[in-house]
Chains A and B, each alone.
Chain A
Amino acid sequence: MAKGSDLDVAYVAKLARLNLSDAETELFQRQLGHVLNYADKLRGVDVSQVEAAAHAIPIFNVFREDEPRDWFTAEEALSNAPRQANGLFIVTKVVE
């Protein structure tokens, strides 16, 4: 397992689309380093014969008919929009 010191908070925050102040970056670097050092204890477990458990109680293949039903109106769907116009979300420009 990688050492906690491998963590580069500034890089990871970019991956997470999360701006951090310099002070937060420095603080998280230290605090999460401690957490990852604590998590290093998992290196001591023999997992060679173990299948990963994504869920404690697995349920497989939950299907339903793909049929239209009443759900939100456009107005309801837009009711919490930070910006909207003409029944659409106004978003930040993506393409130059």
Chain B
Amino acid sequence: MTGKELPASNIADLQSLLRRREISPREVLDVLRARIEDVDGKIDAYLSTDFEGAVEKAEKTDVDLPLGGVPIAIKDIISVAGQPCTCASKILQGYRAPYDATVIRKLRAAGAIPLGKTNMDEFAMGSSTENSGFKLTRNPWDLSRVPGGSSGGSAAAVAADEAFAGLGTDTGGSIRQPASLSGVVGLKPTYGRVSRFGLVAFASSLDQVGPLTKTVRDAALIMNVIAGHDPQDSTCLNEPLPDYTAALGRDLRGIRLGLPKEYMIEGIDPQVKSAIDAAIAQLETLGAEIVHVSLPHTDYSTAVYYILATAEASANLARFDGVRYGHRAENPKDLLDHYGRTREEGFGAEVKRRITLGTYVLSSGYYDAYYLRAQKVRELIRQDFAKAFERVDALISPTSPVPAFKIGERTEDPLQMYLADIFTNPANLAGICGISVPCGLAEIEGHRLPIGLQLLGKALDEARILQIAHAYEQSTDWHKARPPIAASMQNG
């Protein structure tokens, strides 16, 4: 163990201590701060922290509130009033959010304390956090490997005990894939279940905010706070909000789980394959029935995803023009020079690549061939899921075809990096919910590397996938496995 020990590993255990007055919110922050100062030099999960603001909040918080006194790490694409919100982009260096995102407002109302902003792929474009404009985040299980992305900072912070929980965003897998690679739980809610107000937009028809946590119960606790209608996001669904913890603990008898045959592709790492097979057998032992299903348009999803996501990004990122906020090029000779150089200097390579692709697929002569066709295939992918969910309660797959890869291993070939999302991006295209939960450890080059099981549920069925994930988690010890750098007490 390294340095300070956290008094508890997860939110639920921390809350027991806080509510029994065995530790104060201020003491929690002090120990967390020491922990971050001790290990973040190795992990680089955080881009900024706000201990002073956090302490001020901690001294006033009511620990009996739903998340009273619980510090939360926030992906640096979500606005926290007065704090930097850079999206890990040089174009937003120095920018401070003038207001709270709705999810932050809700977290604060529930007593939670935004502690700091975590590293990410620039504007959430990437699957490894290597596209950050500021620094590399390392996987706590093997510092030579990536934590996944784009919410890699939040995933690594949770895995390395630098946070009890974090918020991420998931546009094509950016919560679930880093959760899988870093060995934590990550939930992507149904599109529209959680407000996007105050989230810097990447691909507006795909983006969702969700939790990265140590346990499934913690993910449910955060969902209870952040989910729900928001009049400030017109795509936010006005649907009843369940208590996501209510179904936890129910057994899996009568639950039907679908195994999509298209997800059993070549290229799945053999250790991932055997971990998933074992997880399926475990779910059967718990009473679930396994059903073979087909999602025939799966093979098209990555192509559809990269056309639609880049098209939306090219429009969303037009706002970074150096006029109202962010970087502005020095001494422009005219307006075109102002725009062209501001964006050249501010954006990193992957963002430039995606703006270029997105602009192309929307441009005259190519719109029908790429963008419109991709939208139609998106509809077919959505229908595939709708048909499958007529027969099953949830679908199972690996979250990622491989465990964490080496830093630098995939950066030369964007297409290879894009294929890291193959099991996750269909859920974004279909708007459904998904969760990744630890289900094994691969042994590679003397390191243990986490493997994640993905469960996909139909729209607004988060309670069901949380129930299944929780039953699985509680019947195995995978969530108790900790990376060498972790230091929390094991409270059962």
Asked whether, in the complex, the Cβ of A19 is within 8 Å of the Cβ of B343, the reply is: yes
Q: How far is the CA of A18 from the CA of B328 in the complex (A)?
A: 13
Does residue A42 face the partner (Cβ distance < 8 Å to B)? yes
Identify the stretch in B170-178, B367-375, B461-469 within 8 Å (CB) of chain A at 4 or more residues.
B367-375
Asked whether, in the complex, the Cβ of B360 is within 8 Å of the Cβ of A92, the reply is: no
**B347 → chain A closest CB, angstroms:** 7
**A23 → chain B closest CB, angstroms:** 10
Asked whether, in the complex, the Cβ of A13 is within 8 Å of the Cβ of B356, the reply is: yes
Asked whether, in the complex, the Cβ of A92 is within 8 Å of the Cβ of B338, the reply is: yes
Residues on A with beta carbons closer than 8 Å to the beta carbon of B356: 9, 12-13, 16, 18, 20, 28, 32
How many A-B pairs with Cβ below 8 Å? Answer: 174
> Which of the residues A36, A52, A56, A72 comes within 8 Å of B191, measured between beta carbons?
A56
Asked whether, in the complex, the Cβ of B314 is within 8 Å of the Cβ of A16, the reply is: yes
For chain B residues 314-337, which have a beta carbon within 8 Å of chain A?
A: 314, 318, 321-328, 332, 334-336
Asked whether, in the complex, the Cβ of B359 is within 8 Å of the Cβ of A53, the reply is: no
Given contacts A2-B365, A55-B191, A56-B205, contact A93 B414 (CB under 8 A): no
Q: How far is the CA of A43 from the CA of B325 in the complex (A)?
A: 41
Residues on A with beta carbons closer than 8 Å to the beta carbon of B243: none
Q: How far is the CA of A32 from the CA of B358 in the complex (A)?
A: 11
Interface size range on B against A = 35 or more
Q: How far is the CA of A55 from the CA of B312 in the complex (A)?
A: 12
Given contacts A54-B205, A57-B191, A59-B235, contact A32 B376 (CB under 8 A): no
Does residue A91 face the partner (Cβ distance < 8 Å to B)? yes
Q: How far is the CA of A92 from the CA of B330 in the complex (A)?
A: 10
For chain B residues 53-98, which have a beta carbon within 8 Å of chain A?
A: 94-96, 98
Q: How far is the CA of A6 from the CA of B369 in the complex (A)?
A: 12
**Which among B96, B306, B321, B352 has the greatest number of chain A C-beta atoms within 10 A?**
B352
Q: How far is the CA of A41 from the CA of B415 in the complex (A)?
A: 14
Does residue B340 face the partner (Cβ distance < 8 Å to A)? yes
Residues on A with beta carbons closer than 8 Å to the beta carbon of B98: 72, 76-77, 79-80
Q: How far is the CA of A58 from the CA of B327 in the complex (A)?
A: 36
For B98-139 the 0/1 string (1 means CB < 8 A from A) is 110000000000000000000000000000000000000000
Asked whether, in the complex, the Cβ of B344 is within 8 Å of the Cβ of A20, the reply is: yes
Does residue B17 face the partner (Cβ distance < 8 Å to A)? no
Considering only CB atoms, which chain B residue lies closest to A15 in the complex?
Answer: B359
Residues on B with beta carbons closer than 8 Å to the beta carbon of A45: 297, 300, 373, 376-377, 380
Considering only CB atoms, which chain A residue lies closest to B336 in the complex?
Answer: A17
Of all A-B residue pairs in the complex, the 4 with the closest CB atoms, nearest first, are A56-B431, A80-B325, A52-B375, A82-B328
Q: Could you tell me which A residues sit within 8 Å of B by CB distance?
A: 1-2, 6-7, 9, 12-13, 15-21, 24, 28, 31-32, 34-36, 38-39, 41-43, 45, 47, 50-57, 59, 62, 64, 72, 76-77, 79-83, 89, 91-94
A–B pairs, 15, beta carbons within 8 Å: A1-B370, A2-B369, A20-B344, A34-B414, A39-B303, A41-B303, A42-B300, A47-B377, A52-B375, A53-B378, A55-B205, A72-B98, A77-B98, A80-B94, A93-B334
User: A34-B413, A93-B335 are known contacts; what are 17 more A-B pairs with Cβ within 8 Å?
Assistant: A2-B366, A12-B363, A15-B363, A16-B356, A17-B339, A38-B415, A50-B376, A52-B376, A53-B378, A56-B429, A57-B191, A57-B459, A77-B324, A80-B95, A82-B323, A82-B325, A91-B323
